[in-house]
Amino acid sequence: MTGIVNDRWSTVRTGDGATVRLLTHEPAGPALGRLVWAHGGSWQRGSAAQWAGVTRQLSAASGWTVASVEYRLAPEHPFPAGVHDVLAAVDRMAQASPELPLAVGGDSSGGTIAAMAAVARRDRGDRVPVQVLAYPPLDPGCARPSYHRDPGAFPRREDLRRSWDLWLGGTRRPGTARPSPLEVPDLSGLAPVYLAVGDLDPVRDDVVEYAARLHAARVPVGLSVLPGTPHAEVLRSPSGILGELITALHEYGNDERTTP
């Protein structure tokens, strides 16, 4: 079921002094929650406008307000710029409607950024948003078996490793911030995490590993592995993975409203 949404552009100031644009979709009725979304594109490409069909559908089908972030792209703006941008949008949403369920999400590289924004809010002692993630790549080395199963599958391992290098600025210095939740030693204290990935996706094993580590840290986690499904599936219509994320928003929103 879908509904009418209204779109508007705005800007938000980030913690490191940048100004970032947001494309916000408001459902016609009272919002059931607030979701900040980060688009895919290997940290180098894509925009909130290009992903508007996805984010508008998310809002219409879930009844949530969705703010899509025009985050700064690599290589001009390497990590952690994109995390700062998404984090600023989450901060605004949390302040605007503290009574509503709060989530952060994204597809592909945007999912990686969204996950680290959630970790950053936990580390600051702020309210932690639920994560709603579609096939995030989580290993800069792209080493797990699913990367080797089909060398021709998108994204190709060598291309994704190059994208990681560009996003990370080419070097990793000891003591710098971690770019992936798989590098965070303690995941406890995170809000529930919903993960969706296709069984044909090269990043599948990253996502499955994240789910296992969340479970070990006693974080509520839902994992959907869709058969016959490749990477970048939310850009296709109809999208089974997008349907999984919409279901997750419904379930979490209902749980939040019924919790004493």
C-alpha count within 13 angstroms, C-beta hemisphere, residue 101 = 29
Tell me, what DSSP letter sits at residue 147?
G
From 108, 109, 146, 163, active-site residue: 108
**Candidates 84, 205, 231, 239; catalytic one:** 231
CA 102 to chain centre: 13
Phi, psi of 79 (to 5 degrees): -50, 140
Q: Is 224 a catalytic residue?
A: no
108 catalytically annotated? yes
**Are 69 and 81 a contacting pair, CB within 8 Å?**
no
139, 201, 205, 206: the catalytic one is 201
Distance (Å, whole) CA 109 – CA 44: 9
Active site residue 231: yes
Within 10 angstroms of residue 98's Cβ, the number of other Cβ atoms is: 10
Q: CA-to-CA distance for 113 and 79, rounded, in angstroms?
A: 9
- Active site positions, annotated: 108, 201, 231
